Amino acid sequence: MAIEKNYYTIDPQGKLSCYKCGVPLVKGKAKFMYLDNGFPVELPVCPVCGFVYVPEELALGKVASVERALEDK
């Protein structure tokens, strides 16, 4: 059920940056929460403002499948 820690597959070269703070995103600790369930994950996060990025492939892939599994609980 846990979501893969996939920072390096998302941004292996560190090319993502925060538009507002102008700094590169770093591997950071984040948490997905749904229907009273929480999953600690590592995602690209802005070290200054804390913006957590959920890329398209992750949202439509693993996140969507965990959502569906929880919805049917």
Q: How far is the CB of 20 from another protein (least distance, A)?
A: 5
Q: Which residues bind another protein (CB under 8 A)?
A: 13, 15-20, 25, 28-37, 40, 43-46, 49-54, 56, 59-60, 63-64, 66-73
Show the tokens assigned to 48: 């200054």
Q: How far is the CB of 37 from another protein (least distance, A)?
A: 7
Distance CA 41, CA 21 (A): 23
Distance CA 11, CA 8 (A): 5
Q: How far is the CB of 61 from another protein (least distance, A)?
A: 10
Distance CA 8, CA 68 (A): 25
